[in-house]
Amino acid sequence: MSVLIASKTRDLGGFSVKRILPSENQRMVGPFVFFDHMGPAHFEAGNGINVRPHPHIGLATMTYLFKGSILHRDSLGSIQEIHPGDVNWMTAGRGIVHSERETLEVRGNDHHLDGIQCWMVLPEEKAEVEPSFTHVPKTQLPYIHREKFLIRLIAGEAFGRSSPVKTYSPMFYLDVIGEVGGKLGRPCGDFETAIYIQMGQVRIGQEEFKAGDFVVYESGDEELEVLTNCRILMLGGKSFEQAPFMDWNFVSFDKEKIKDAKIRWQKGEFPAIPGDDEEFIPLPG
């Protein structure tokens, strides 16, 4: 029987997110250790997203939008506005700082935001790689066509195709549009698999699920059936033998590395973001 994971609503100041991973019942799915649905939110002119500089270690972050745009800046000097369908993939490795804001043009008008932010844990042997940032436009991502399905491969490998987004462990991440009556099998055999339903209704086994549900497949779940036209994100990957430790924005298999990252952030020893170094998010507590 599939497992339905409940979300928790978090207020980020001016808009809310639905936080799904990690949860009490499900720490991770493949390498995915964090899954937030931002919005849908509407902002009046003059208001919007304004996430001040903050650090990460031991993970990769991925932003994928349905509506709106976000301006990414980081301590490598990257400046990149992301739009729906594009991928922003940031590898924190041993340490990076980034901010998420908006352009003047966006902030100066009424606008919407709706999208997903994920964290993928880096395998222990790759946890301290050099930080990096990659932007991949939607036109460079593979499309997969199945009867009654239009699928974009965001990251990883699935259905015999590969995304140009560099990953650090076997995984897949798919944006799927399905028509009523369509049936879609698991993309990667026995990999851990989950779906997030952005719109519509689906059936897995004998159970029906609706928009807003995050569903983790169990071993006997092989096929998804579309009950009403839907859009879902399908994600997962090879299971990890051990779940990492998580504390604030830090992920590691070694608690001492998290402790060290906290001290470095408090002492201002992380690199600054060029042109965005006058503010920062303090360490909680």
Mean pLDDT, all residues of the chain: 96
Mean pLDDT, residues 72-90: 98
The reply to whether CATH 3.30.930.10 applies to domain 3-237 is no
Which range has the worst mean pLDDT, 14-28, 156-170, 196-210?
14-28
pLDDT score, position 232:
98
Question: Is 244 within 8 Å of 250 (Cβ atoms)?
Answer: no
For the stretch 10-61, pLDDT in tens is 876 567 899 999 998 899 999 999 999 998 999 999 999 999 999 999 999 9
For the stretch 236-259, pLDDT in tens is 999 999 999 999 999 999 999 999
Please state the φ and ψ torsions of residue 259, each to the nearest 5 degrees: -60, -45
For the stretch 108-122, pLDDT in tens is 999 999 999 999 999
pTM: 0.96
